Amino acid sequence: MPRAPALLWLLLPGLAALEPISVGIAIGAASALTGYLSYPSFYCSYVECCPGDGHRLNATALRAQLDARLFGQHLAKEVVLKAVAGFSRNSSPKKPLALSLHGWGGTGKNLLSQIIAEHLHPAGLRSKFVHLFLATLHFPHQHQVKLYQEQLQKWIQGNVSACPHSVFIFDEMDKLHPGLIDAIKPFLDYYEQVNGVSYRKAIFIFLSNAGANLINKVALDFWRNGKQREEIQLKDLEPVLSLGVFNNKNSGLWHSSLIDRNLIDYFVPFLPLEHKHVKMCIRAEMLSRGHAVNENVVEVVIDEMTFFPKEEKIYSDKGCKTVQAKLNFHWDTVMGDTKAEG
């Protein structure tokens, strides 16, 4: 429990000059104040605290956020919601939760990991209990893989020791040097403790573009066969996805013991986005800037986007990744034209 013993020391110099009764009153007041400040709910309203074991994720609020901010990803939303909510409800998990998110850029992998972080720790990615690793930034050099492995182990051990409910997000897994991620294998396994630390309540999230072509092919096959994308189920993608990533030298999980030992709980596919989904992204971005939705702007921005396959042009090849930049470019022009017409 947090304490504030420094308050007593601040009062001690003045206590010597007081009468015995006054000293007793002063010590009692200081003790009461110290106890009040050390009360968890008060202390944690000013300083970020690690959630206690009794804390539970608000699954209803998480679902509402996913529905409002993540578009075209029925599979990812359903799988992640059930996985994270179920893990949060389990007071005694046998291992940490490990999710591997796969799909093209701009389909929502980063957004989903951000939403999860926000619902586990209110400060989200700014929380001292949420840790984001970028392959090209934190692990750039092939010849230093062993050093990175040692540093990664120490970093994870130290942070889980400080907060068992820590969240670790590894982005750009497809750019990670093969073998590096195997350093965390002991932390994801079914051990009660590793060097005196339990990792069972931590969450590990891996983000990768690897396997995107496999996902896109399945989505396109469904479309060509006249099926709705919402008919795609996890069983249609997860087996081929885990095998494809395991055998892909550019996946960061190439021949990884994390896959070989079945330590990744879910391989979560992110489907390519259609025109309607990109339009949803454009509208959501407008609203996030405090503007009303302007359909003229939506049409101008969507016309700037490119789609594949070459003949059908169904899916955005960049997802929603360039929406912000294109909205910045066209906003003043289109809004100016709209005002002139009015």
According to the annotation, is 336 in a ligand binding site?
A: no
Which amino acid, 311? E
Calpha distance 226→302 (Å, rounded) = 25
DSSP class of residue 252 equals: S
According to the annotation, is 107 in a ligand binding site?
A: yes
According to the annotation, is 179 in a ligand binding site?
A: no
**Residue 43 neighbours by CB under 8 Å, 6+ apart:** 2, 37, 49
Beta strands (DSSP E) in 30-82 are none
According to the annotation, is 28 in a ligand binding site?
A: no
According to the annotation, is 105 in a ligand binding site?
A: yes
Residue appearing with tokens 């081929």: 240
According to the annotation, is 104 in a ligand binding site?
A: yes
According to the annotation, is 109 in a ligand binding site?
A: yes
Question: How far from 165 is each of 3, 100, 109, 271, 294, CA to CA, in Å?
Answer: 21, 18, 21, 29, 42
Secondary element (H or E) of residue 117: helix 109-120
DSSP class of residue 92 equals: S
For residue 110, count CB atoms less than 10 angstroms from its CB and return exposed for 0-12, middle for 13-18, buried for 19 or more. middle
Nearest to 79 by CA among 265, 227, 212: 265
Q: Per 3-state DSSP, what percentage of the chain is helix, strand, and coil (rounded to 5)?
A: 55, 10, 35
Counted residue by residue, the chain has a size of: 342
Binding site, by residue number, is 103-110
Binding site for ATP, by residue number, is 103-110
